[in-house]
Structure 1
Amino acid sequence: MGVKQSVKMAKCVVWDLDDTLWKGTLSSGDEVVVDPRILETVKTLDERGILQSIASKNNHDDAMRKLEEFGLAEYFLHPQINWNSKSSSLTELQAKLNIGLDTFIFIDDQEFERDEVAFVHPDVETIDAADRFLLTDLPRLSPVHVTEDARRRRLMYREGEQRDRSELAFQGPHDEFLRSLDMVLDISPAGGDDLLRLEELTHRTSQLNSTGIHYSYDELEKLIDDPGHDLWVCELTDRYGSYGKVGMALVEKSGDQWTIALLLMSCRTVSKGVGTVLLQFLVKRAAERGARLFARFRRTDRNRQMLLTYQLANFHVVSRDGVDHLFENDLEIVRDYPDHVRVNVDA
């Protein structure tokens, strides 16, 4: 059950400005203009949940004023407008957005700039600006379904920026800042309305993903009604807003033997100290019901952090076959939830 995705979906499009996003060279004094088709492309990608940013060699303040004039500034996260190399701008964006370089698409009219990025970041797909009007037709930028969380993705990143600024300004220990966020994690059985988002999570989440296996909408729909499986979903909110549905767990149940077939959490939860809460919930639930708790783990090139999560949660290897591991938790240690997040369970 679960299938690999043949086309890895892109998560962020990074635009050059001169003769790419707009026509003309700003620093040369040109009266730059934006083609209405570009405006439509930017808005369409945003509605699909595709993040967008800028990597441009320009004067920052002048370029930002133009983006504001065109009504486009709000669509671009962490714009890199400076005189540095385009590859260094991509490095900076990867760190700020915390997504894989292989999920970026970079578009520029200059072959040199595309080659420079491709040389430093071979995982980044580069596109000639001559093809910019075809972006919305690319399979990597055309999700089959667009969830409500996807439509809000840019807004959620903006809320994240507010949190980050508040944290930098906060005077005191990190734990106190986390408590000041008033975080609430709601854990509940998945319903029909959750399935599109859960399908999306299995495709988009790679670092905190226990197997890297993708599940389709139809597969998840069957699991909801299967008494031999529990499918859990969790949503995180705080005083700045909602992070959306950030985690899921699929548990196979055979008598008193439970096996976590898939556990994943959005990378956006890592710095908020809630990445392990869903796993703690499963440990608590198994201990309360006298079940033995196992977990499958498949090593990928991205999910070492999930391996550490299992190990720190007292899971021990009971069998191994290549990259596939089977863990068991003896349930002798059942930890409380962290005190900086309130956990609501609707079971």
Structure 2
Amino acid sequence: MYSFRELQKARSINIDGKETRLAVLGNCATQFFSEALEGFGKLTGLNLSVYDADYNQIDEQLLNPSSEVFSFEPDQILLWLCTEILYEEYLDREFSERSHFAESYIQKLEHYWECIKRYSNASIVQLNFTEIDDKALGQYSCKVDATFVYQIRKLNFLFQESASKNSRVYPVDALAVQIDLGRDVYFNAPLYYNAKVPVAINALPFLGRAVIDVLKSIMGRIKKCLILDLDNTLWGGVIGDDGLAGIEIGALGKGHVFSNLQRWIKQLKEYGIILAVCSKNEEDIAKEPFSKHKEMILSLSDISVFVANWNDKATNIKLIQESLNIGMDSIVFLDDNPFERNLIREKFPDIEVPELPKDPSTWLGFLQRENYFDTVSYTKFGSDRTKFYQAEIERKKLGQTFETIDDYLKSLGMIGEAKHFEPFWYSRIAQLTQRSNQFNLRTVRYNEDEIQRIAEDRHYITLYYTLRDKFGDHGLVSVVILEKIANDELFVDTWLMSCRVLKRGMEEFVINHMVQTAFDYGFETISSEYLSTTKNQMVKDIYETMGFSRMSDHTFRLNISSFQKLKTYIQEEHKNGEK
């Protein structure tokens, strides 16, 4: 972890790329915190510019649409309501009102959120509440609703419930930081009473990191895949030497350590993280615990790509990455062997490789604290991701049996469907705008509220696309947002697509449908733009390939009357189910 001094110095680092503007408001002194955030952002590659509002100016800034904060035009607004100030407000209330403190305070928060939504397009980054147990009634305090410990815990619960219903709010778990460090490390009484800074200087980097993790997730810098070693990582021992009965796994002894690690990994899979295996082993032997060991938590059905052979792990990880068609910076690699960890770090510096402690019993806590899989969205469709990738492996195996790509594509029996945005899909569409990086022409991020607003705005035409074939359903694979910028012209505000359906004719299917939709609405031209990022270079020429004319380095135009329908083997399914 960086020191506070290191973070202060890092603020002067020049970072290329789009600037991210963050405004920080608190009921406490936030200057040191803002400095830590800006420095931490620079050290992690974010071109972060921070506006630090004056002390305790939340009302003055958020209730005034012309305030300095709103004039700053931030991408995110961070709110920090420190518990120490809340405690003083609680004690200043009449005793009879204290049992309603949490309810009244959550109303205040929701009012702040509404003001931000009304006067700004900024996302809201909100710290939850650390705890003070004043022991007014000793241990009995947690049973009496008028005590502060009861109210602050209730406030955190109400905050969670309210934030879960507001897609613009992104929580930061300051309480978890306090618990991990301990109250005596997190809080420095002289610093608070002298300067109204509620976090010790040495603890500021830890809180800053929690915020930066959220900001990176908002910007789509997330981990999507966990690649796992097997021997002495998922279980104790070596399956090839010790045999099925000799490996350590289960409720007894050291096996409990590996079982709990597997439980956590399975939970990641259920929330949409892709699991892969990379093991130096005979494949049949490596798979044996998954299919035959009764205390194994993970099953083969949880693993999207299973690679076990005697090749070096760098080669195999490259194979896994290409099979999944994800970026190297989306991967976390877990291996007990220092040699293998160093090899992957040297070969693929973008891959996150945890330096596991020597004692396996500490691994789970270590991995949870490192917070590799922070995200800003979740939908139930994430749990189906493993099935998508397993089916994709079968498609690739089939593709190897055909002499031409056309014959292979014909054999898939692909059916595409296009529809206007529907409420059922708002969260999934928002998630795709936040997570898609490679096939994303402008990389504009939207939250669920913004997707709903666009879907209901007559100045936009919104389209989502699904695809299925004989191996299964890919689900929602592409999103298009067309803005009506003139009576005869549409602008492609957003075009993104899942990389798992690349080179199947889906690009052509989307363009064909987009052009037909524009024609049906009476438009004559479609203009578009490609905004370059470090991750979307693969689509820099896509518009020209699809028949658009280049107007400048990054803008394109298509005259609908001259468009020639593109070749694709995807049949369109219409509303009545006909193809």
Could you state the TM-score of these two structures normalised by the residue count of structure 1? 0.89
Map 1:10-159 → 2, pairs under 5 A:
10-29=223-242, 31-34=246-249, 35-69=258-292, 70=296, 72-130=299-357, 132-134=363-365, 135=367, 139-159=371-391
Q: Which residue of 2 aligns with 1:258?
A: 490
- What fraction of aligned residue pairs are identical, expressed as a percent? 24
1:184 Cα deviation from its structure 2 partner: 1.1
Write the distance in 2 (CA, Å) between the matches of 1:251 and 1:314: 18
Tell me the equivalent position of 1:287.
Answer: 519
1:252-275 deviation line (CA, Å, top 9, x unaligned): 113322100111111121132222
Q: Higher strand proportion, which one? A: 1
- 2:216 maps to which residue? 6
Deviation at 1:279, TM superposition (A): 1.9
Q: Give the residue type in structure 1 aligned to 2:556.
A: F
Whole-angstrom CA distance in 1 between matches of 2:338 and 2:273: 24
Query: Structure 2: which 5+ runs fail to align?
Result: 1-120, 124-213, 250-257
CA distance in 2, matches of 1:235, 1:154: 17
- The Cα RMSD (Å) is 2.5
Q: Give the unaligned 5+ runs of structure 1.
A: none
The correspondence of residues 267-306 of structure 1 with structure 2, limited to 5 A, is 267-288=499-520, 289-306=522-539
Which residue of 235, 239, 248 corresponds with 2:466?
235
Amino acid at match of 2:283: H
Post-superposition Cα deviations, 1:267-314, rounded to whole Å, max 9, x if no partner, equal: 121132222221222222223413321112101233233232200222
Cα deviation for residue 174 of structure 1 reads 2.7
Q: Which one has the largest radius of gyration? A: 2
Aligned mates of 1:290, 1:92 — CA distance in 2: 45
Return the alpha-carbon distance in structure 2 between the equivalents of residues 2 and 277 of structure 1: 34
Paired residue type of 2:352: E
Check conservation: 1:284, 1:334, Cα contact below 8 A.
Answer: no
Number of matched residues?
342
For 2:393, the equivalent position in structure 1 comes to: 161
Which digits, 9 at most, give the CA deviation of each residue in 1:301-333, with x for residues without a partner? Answer: 33233232200222223345xxxx221112243
CA distance, structure 1, for counterparts of residue 390 and residue 445 of structure 2 = 28
> 1:207-218 residue pairs with structure 2 within 5 A?
207-218=438-449
Give 1:177-192 correspondences, 5 Å limit.
Answer: 177-192=408-423
Gap change, CA 1:218 and 1:290, over 3 Å in 2:
closer
**Relative to 1, partners in 2 of residues 1:301 and 1:144: Cα closer, same or farther, differing over 3 Å?**
closer
Aligned residue in 2 for 1:329: 558
Gap change, CA 1:167 and 1:24, over 3 Å in 2: same
- Paired with 1:198 and 1:124, the residues of 2 have a C-alpha distance of 27
The equivalent residue for 2:549 is 316
Paired AA for residue 302 in structure 1: K
Secondary structure at the counterpart of residue 235 of structure 1: strand
Q: Which of the two has greater helix per residue?
A: 2
CA distance in 1, matches of 2:537, 2:224: 21
- Provide Cα deviations, 1:232-268, integer angstroms capped at 9, x if missing partner: 1000011222001000001111332210011111112
